[in-house]
Structure 1
Amino acid sequence: MTERDAARVLAHPEAAGIRLESVLHALSDPVRLSIVRDLAATDAELACSYFDLPVTKSTTTHHFRVLRESGVVRQTYRGTAKMNGLRREDLQTLFPGLLDSVLAAAAAEASRLGGLAT
């Protein structure tokens, strides 16, 4: 790894350091939940630019940082793009059924509200 690459490595909690309250906090925001729902719908990593969010670029950066620092997503640089992947296996191991339950509840709410929920 070059010095430049090392400077672009983002800090993530180890699986053992992921805390339930941090994950729940990260998932409690509608914008962050919509990001997680999009990531859960694919096995691929998605660039930050993929997401069409109703917030400013700086606020988008904040939301991704909260998701990364809580252990919900893993971010890596690929060229100039910051790629995002859901840490589904880590979350399932630590909190069995939590992510699937939250995603199912979010889908039910979106259906109930006629797609108005994010």
Structure 2
Amino acid sequence: MTTPTPPLLPMASDGCGCCAPSAPSTPSVKTSSAPAATKTNAGPDVPTVYQVTGMTCGHCAKSVTQALQALPQVDDVQIDLTAGGVSTVTVTGVVPPEMVRRAIEEAGYTVLS
């Protein structure tokens, strides 16, 4: 008896930077009136929200999540994926915003400023 394999997530676009073998390495940058990082509470483990472009699928979200979870002071990462648009990345923990920004950019995506 074999266990059925769950279906794969569909790609949101043909230009997926993390899945396409010959995709360009420069993510697109869009302007937004939303702030790049916003504190939502006061206290040491405050969730901080980042507006990120370039994520197009579940694999992109997983790459960003893993990059952020590798940071020593990150407690939790939540991503609201908007394929091809501006996704929301919420990071909980005591971690400098510049460190979060660098981790996201090293994963291949752009944090709006």
- The TM-score, its normalising length taken from structure 2, stands at 0.29
- The TM-score, its normalising length taken from structure 1, stands at 0.28
Higher helix proportion, which one? 1
